Amino acid sequence: MIWQFKEKARERLAEETGTVTKDWGGRVRIALVFPNTYYVGMSNLGFQTIYWHLNQRPDIVCERAFLPDPEDLPEHERLRVPVLSLESQRPLAEFDCVAFSTTYENDYLNMLRILELSGIPIRAAERGPSDPLVAMGGVCAWSNPEPLAAFVDWFFLGEGEESSHEVFELWQQVREAERQPEAARGTFFRALLGVEGIYVPRFYDVKYHEDGTVAEVLAYDGAPLPVRKRRLLNTDAYDTVSMVRTANTEFGKMALLEVGKGCGRGCRFCMEGEIYRPIRHRHIDAILRAAETALQHGRRIGLVGACVSDYPWIDDLMAALRARGVDVSLSSVRADSLSPGLVKGLLESGSRTLTIAPEAGTERLRTVIHKSLSDQRLFEAVDLIADSSVPSVKMYFMIGQPTETAEDVEAIIRLAKTARHRILERRRDPQSLAELTVGVSSFVPKPWTAFQWCAMAEVRALDGKIHSLRRELRRVGIRFTHDVPKWAHLQAVLARGDRHVSDLLQLALTHRGDWKRAFREWLRNPDFYACRERPLTERFPWDHFEVGTKRERLETEYQRALGILPERVVKWKASLA
């Protein structure tokens, strides 16, 4: 059966442009793995960026691998067919290093599935000198890597364009100097402690209080404490663009191009706006340089960033790209930064959907989450979109946010109905009516945000709100989409977890993804991580990392959001001591 999976890989390669293939002779062999399907992984710009930069080195061969497609996974498991790399169709166990690029907490189980299918021991302590090294990068690696500390040899904290080169140069040097494989691995792990932005869990021990909270973290053998993330200082020097094109992605054959890192909006629920500090915008010349390379394979480019419409020179950039005949799409647009010129440029590029994200139904709750958007400004954006010829409009909200009331949820319905009415008023011609979609997601309190102390709402309550919204919005012809609260609850457990969560992950692997059974057999309560409000004095599992934002600042934002006066905070802390 393995020949069928090899043939499928060859067919995918035949549909790609920009693929890099190399001979293995004398090179460090890296399997860059996205722990989800090919379709999802090839839609990820960070994954594509690291693939391209590593392959620019003549001494490295970097090949891609993915979780088998849903229709193939049962056959892999039944016949014990290992996961194969895409470029050479070799088993992952034959590589020097298996490096995961992980963006979503709910893909953690897929990481373990891939290791198990590949015949690589799941836990780092069980791997020997003949097994590949296992590394992990991506936003999950530096927001809170502790739930995966038992499985990963080292984590790339922060942007990996520079540190990845340093790490693999170091591995080559150690391997040449140390002829004994076991000794080489030990020497290499200790040497990694000197590379900024690298976290090697085996050199840290976590102590816990009797109530299960973290008491302290101890570092050994000169390991740094805190562990600092790696920050890319000169973003212009590294093009962040998807070089491999394929129709089998969410974006089709459109190239993705990053305009900068970070966001200055300061939304209190948003982790990305905090851990990518400071904000670093790429200059237009650097973006156009990257665009010229991307345009060799097509004329469609998607601009990517935490808030692309906030890019300081967005109108000039749009004009420059349109002058080159580029069709431009934006990954994120703020309602209060929409302009007629921006909308016009997007429509001329063929965009069929414009999306705005009020996040909350009332101005009061938007103030709490630091989303500075009034109803008036929101409706001005709706009118601007309605006056255009765009056929689809989307509005995104989040439910279960701190201090949310029934009034806030009902206001989502009123806002959506008002937006639909304004669109109908401005488009008298039935042929030009725009379809309105309301999307709702469940609030998950994430590390490194002002709401990291908050509890997540109970799944039953979130399900009830979704049911009410769906009923009322569909009644008036508004499309409604939503996430699944039980999976958001799992995401909260994994995002806020400590090293004990590794046992939960291994149970879920043993039971083939049956999370209900895994939770039942786990010796800990998942709501301890997801649905418990944290006191300000509690130490988080991620507090021994330094990612660019200060806990003290986040604490102040938390107090402002909930209206907690400083003198009350002093009394509160004293009562918890």
Please provide residue 29's backbone torsions phi and psi, each rounded to the nearest 5 degrees. Answer: -105, 115
Q: What is the mean pLDDT of the chain?
A: 90
Using the predicted structure, report yes or no on whether residue 264 has a pLDDT greater than 80: no
Q: What is the mean pLDDT of residues 109-125?
A: 97
How many CB atoms lie under 10 A from the CB of residue 300?
19
Q: What is the dihedral of CA 535, 483, 106, 365, to 10 degrees?
A: -30
Domains and CATH numbers, the chain: 2-205 (3.40.50.280), 231-350 (3.30.750.210)
Q: For residue range 291-307, what is the model confidence (pLDDT) as tens digits? A: 888 787 778 888 888 77
Q: What is the mean pLDDT of residues 471-478?
A: 93
pLDDT at 10: 94
pLDDT at 568: 44
Token code pair at residue 25? 């002779």
Pairing mode, if any, of strands 204-208 and 214-219?
antiparallel
Q: For residue range 507-556, what is the model confidence (pLDDT) as tens digits? A: 999 999 999 999 999 999 999 999 999 999 999 999 999 998 999 999 99
Using the predicted structure, report yes or no on whether residue 357 has a pLDDT greater than 80: yes
Nearest to 537 by CA among 435, 421, 415, 453: 453
Q: What is the mean pLDDT of residues 242-249?
A: 87
Residue 518 makes CB contacts below 8 A (sequence gap 6+) with 504, 507, 508, 510, 511
Q: For residue range 369-398, what is the model confidence (pLDDT) as tens digits? A: 998 889 999 998 888 888 877 788 899 999
* H-only helix segments in 15-44: 38-41
Residue 101 makes CB contacts below 8 A (sequence gap 6+) with 32, 33, 34, 41, 44, 46, 47, 50, 136, 137, 138
Using the predicted structure, report yes or no on whether residue 193 has a pLDDT greater than 70: yes
Q: What is the mean pLDDT of residues 250-268?
A: 85
Q: For residue range 124-136, what is the model confidence (pLDDT) as tens digits? A: 999 999 999 999 9
pLDDT at 572: 42
- Higher-pLDDT residue of 142 and 341 is 142
Q: For residue range 481-500, what is the model confidence (pLDDT) as tens digits? A: 999 999 999 999 999 999 99
- Higher-pLDDT residue of 178 and 213 is 213
What does the alpha-carbon distance between residue 172 and residue 478 come to, in Å, rounded to a whole number? 58
pLDDT at 381: 87
Q: For residue range 66-105, what is the model confidence (pLDDT) as tens digits? A: 999 999 999 998 888 999 999 999 999 999 999 999 999 9
Q: For residue range 229-243, what is the model confidence (pLDDT) as tens digits? A: 998 888 888 888 888
Among the residue ranges 13-22, 172-181, 410-419, the one predicted with the least confidence is 172-181
pLDDT at 573: 46
How many CB atoms lie under 10 A from the CB of residue 216?
12
Token code pair at residue 429? 């011609």
pLDDT at 433: 63
Among the residue ranges 143-157, 177-191, 330-344, 437-451, the one predicted with the least confidence is 330-344
Cβ distance 45 to 244 under 8 Å? no
Q: What is the pTM of this model?
A: 0.92
Angle between helices 375-387 and 406-426 (to 10 degrees): 30
Q: What is the mean pLDDT of residues 140-156?
A: 97
Query: In the chain, what percentage of residues exceed pLDDT 70?
Result: 96
Residue 409 makes CB contacts below 8 A (sequence gap 6+) with 361, 399, 465, 468, 469
Among the residue ranges 49-53, 258-262, 428-432, the one predicted with the least confidence is 428-432
Q: For residue range 164-192, what is the model confidence (pLDDT) as tens digits? A: 999 999 999 998 888 888 889 999 999 99
What does the alpha-carbon distance between residue 346 and residue 86 come to, in Å, rounded to a whole number? 35
Cβ distance 172 to 165 under 8 Å? no
pLDDT at 564: 62
- Provide the b/e sequence for 85-105 (b: ≥16 CB within 10 Å): bbbbbbbbbebbbbbbbbbbb
Using the predicted structure, report yes or no on whether residue 466 has a pLDDT greater than 50: yes
Q: For residue range 417-428, what is the model confidence (pLDDT) as tens digits? A: 999 888 888 766
pLDDT at 429: 65
